[in-house]
Structure 1
Amino acid sequence: MTTDIRNASLETLADSEAVALRMAELLVEGIQAKADGLYRVALSGGSTPKRLFELLASDAFRNRVAWDRLQVFYGDERHVELGHPDGNQTVAQSVLLRHVPIPAENIFPIPTGATVTADAAVYEKALKAAYGSDELEKGRPLFDLVMLGLGTDGHTASLFPGQPVLHEVKAWVGTAAPETVPYERVTLTYPAIASSALVVFLVTGASKIEMLERLRAGDQELPSARVTSEGRIVILADRAAAGA
């Protein structure tokens, strides 16, 4: 059964620290609960995920994660050179991945060395290889967990308003060239995000009050509100974003 954003559950937490901590617990619980196979996660960028990464690399969490069973992908990436400070995977690598015993072959960075279209195609091929099929199958999610943010314009991943990728119904990975922010982007598409057991939105800060209200109402003008999942959708919001 497909879950849309209007059927998402909301957890209102004290602050951004509490949101990051709750996300860390959900990730640990998910890995521990999966009886067999690899646990595939798509990470997001932003300040709250950065704090999440710090927590996962800390003594409190590092030994609770079966790192050899975790496969790391990315929900989107700015099309910048490897190691660029604005890269989502640069942050994940420097803050988390180099500090934990995750096998190198379990990390799948989005390539950025060719054209944005070519790199999107390469990443889609990597996803299909990890999934073991060229077609998404109902009941067999591509991702165990997809982490998403919420922009003040309603975007999520790099699914920005007005971009052609919003209309993609087949490809797993697409591209975006938003005029409102720097850089071309490589991003997961709606079909790839929908093939998930759990989608978690991380929403923090008073600047997100309006967008969070519109997201929860299912306002289809917002790219984020069009996200669906085969499993659950959970919104982790701090009190500032929830207007509480």
Structure 2
Amino acid sequence: MPAHHLIQRHYFSHLPELTHAFVQYTSTILRDALSQKDKASLVVPGGQTPRAYLPQLGQQDLPWNQIYITLSDERWVNTCHQDSNERLLREHCLQYMRIPPHFISLKTSHAHPEQAIASLHTRLSAIPRPFSLTILGLGEDGHIASLFPGMTLDPAATRLCQAATPPAAPTLRMSLSFRALIASDHICLVITGNGKRRFLDQIIARPDPSLPFIKLLQHKPVTVFETDTTYQE
């Protein structure tokens, strides 16, 4: 099936409009999941864009104690480091929640992410799957989470996470595996900025299966929330 048939795109003129609609979308999915099961699960990305919607999401009146949250990927730095996605999530979302959720960290004390795969796989196995909702960003090279072009993306992999060495970044990463990402009831992409939107147009028009995002579309439909404006602190 052509890539564009597997994408539902929602464009917003301004970031606040996107944020409001996206938070309502996320809340609805989590409530619907909890109406069918006693637990739900949410995967959240790091980066700059989530800073726009995470505070509003954390302020939603949801039974967070029934919801498991983890990250799509993590930089292999101390969780107090300014580049830590866990720190981002705690400061911009978790602190606003009336009831603490079940947060599953992607960081351990191991020196190298490869050494942490087994223990993190066990940790991640406690999260209800399929994930109720996985939120992703899109890198300018087509990467999702910390799954980069050229990496092995096996939908039948045994592990729920894998280590990653970004081609143009100084920090090693831990990422949810491709297998883990596609085990989601809903997958959503949030992109901001005209450049990212043009890039998405290009890779959908001429899909390259070596790009992790295009490979994702071969397995799961994706809902996109997009705007030309970008987040400014």
Q: Shorter chain as normaliser: what TM range? A: 0.7 to 0.9
The answer to whether residue 201 in structure 2 is matched with residue 213 in structure 1 is yes
- Residues 75 and 84, structure 2, Cα contact 8 Å, conserved in 1: yes
The answer to whether residue 210 in structure 2 is matched with residue 224 in structure 1 is no
1:118 to 1:228, Cα distance in 2 relative to 1, 3 A: farther
The answer to whether residue 118 in structure 2 is matched with residue 121 in structure 1 is yes
1:186 to 1:210, Cα distance in 2 relative to 1, 3 A: same
Q: Give ranges in structure 1 of 5+ residues lacking alignment.
A: 132-140
Residue 209 of structure 1 aligns to a residue in which SS? Answer: helix
- Residues 6 and 216, structure 1, Cα contact 8 Å, conserved in 2: no
Residues in 1 aligned to 2:115 and 2:20: alpha-carbon distance in whole angstroms: 36
How many residue pairs were aligned? 225
Residues in 1 aligned to 2:69 and 2:10: alpha-carbon distance in whole angstroms: 25
Residues in 2 aligned to 1:18 and 1:178: alpha-carbon distance in whole angstroms: 32
- RMSD over equivalenced CA pairs, Å: 2.4
For residues 86-97 of structure 1, the aligned pairs below 5 Å read: 86-97=83-94
For residues 1-244 of structure 1, the aligned pairs below 5 Å read: 6-34=5-33, 35=35, 36-57=37-58, 61-62=59-60, 64-103=61-100, 106-114=102-110, 115-131=112-128, 141-163=129-151, 165-167=152-154, 169-170=156-157, 171-217=159-205, 218-228=207-217, 232-239=221-228
Letter in 1 for 2:39: L
1:232 CA displacement? 4.3
Residues in 1 aligned to 2:186 and 2:116: alpha-carbon distance in whole angstroms: 26
Residues in 1 aligned to 2:229 and 2:211: alpha-carbon distance in whole angstroms: 20
1:179 CA displacement? 2.5
1:227 CA displacement? 1.1
1:31 CA displacement? 1.9
- Residues 78 and 183, structure 1, Cα contact 8 Å, conserved in 2: yes
- Residues 113 and 174, structure 2, Cα contact 8 Å, conserved in 1: yes
- Residues 80 and 112, structure 1, Cα contact 8 Å, conserved in 2: no
- Residues 197 and 229, structure 1, Cα contact 8 Å, conserved in 2: no
1:230 CA displacement? 7.2
1:229 to 1:32, Cα distance in 2 relative to 1, 3 A: farther
1:119 to 1:225, Cα distance in 2 relative to 1, 3 A: same
Residues in 2 aligned to 1:232 and 1:162: alpha-carbon distance in whole angstroms: 22
- Residues 154 and 179, structure 2, Cα contact 8 Å, conserved in 1: no
1:6 to 1:159, Cα distance in 2 relative to 1, 3 A: farther
1:158 CA displacement? 0.3
Residues in 2 aligned to 1:102 and 1:199: alpha-carbon distance in whole angstroms: 25
Residues in 2 aligned to 1:52 and 1:150: alpha-carbon distance in whole angstroms: 16
Cα deviation 1:206-233 (Å, max 9, x = unaligned):
2213421134333323221111487642
Q: TM-score, normalised by structure 2?
A: 0.86
1:54 to 1:3, Cα distance in 2 relative to 1, 3 A: farther
Residues in 2 aligned to 1:67 and 1:15: alpha-carbon distance in whole angstroms: 29
Residues in 2 aligned to 1:33 and 1:12: alpha-carbon distance in whole angstroms: 24
1:117 to 1:86, Cα distance in 2 relative to 1, 3 A: same
Could you list the runs of 4 or more consecutive aligned residues of structure 1 that deviate by over 4 angstroms after TM superposition? 2-6, 228-232
1:234 CA displacement? 0.3
Q: TM-score, normalised by structure 1?
A: 0.83
1:148 CA displacement? 0.4
Report which stretch shifted further, 68-77 or 122-131: 122-131
Residues in 2 aligned to 1:167 and 1:18: alpha-carbon distance in whole angstroms: 36
